[in-house]
């Protein structure tokens, strides 16, 4: 799985988690949903996402470009 796909899955999970927390725990968790949406919005313009750094550095995920490059040279 590429880092980009992992980030998409992680963001989706976090949105669902924040909605559940808002519904079951406290309405203030809606601000967590707002934070996630704002981060996704700014990432679409800047390309910067802190979660990507964490996934790549600590969990070894590679970008789609890195995966494509490594597949093309392995033959």
- pTM for the predicted model, two decimal places: 0.80
pLDDT of residue 66: 87
- 21 and 29 in contact (C-beta within 8 Å)? yes
Can you read off the two tokens belonging to residue 65? 């470009």
- 19 and 34 in contact (C-beta within 8 Å)? no
- 3-state DSSP helix/strand/coil percent for the chain, to nearest 5? 80, 0, 20
pLDDT of residue 69: 87
Residue 72 has pLDDT above 80, yes or no: no
Residue 12 has pLDDT above 90, yes or no: yes
- Per residue in 13-69, pLDDT (tens digit) is 999 999 999 999 999 999 999 999 999 999 999 989 889 999 999 999 998 888 888
């Amino acid at each position: 799985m590429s880092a980009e796909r992992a980030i998409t899955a992680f963001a989706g999970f976090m949105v669902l988690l924040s909605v559940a927390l808002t519904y079951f725990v406290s309405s203030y968790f809606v601000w967590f949903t707002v934070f996630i949406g704002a981060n996704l919005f700014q990432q679409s313009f800047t390309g910067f996402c802190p979660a990507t750094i964490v996934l790549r550095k600590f969990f070894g995920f590679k970008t789609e470009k890195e995966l494509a490059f490594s597949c093309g040279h392995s033959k």
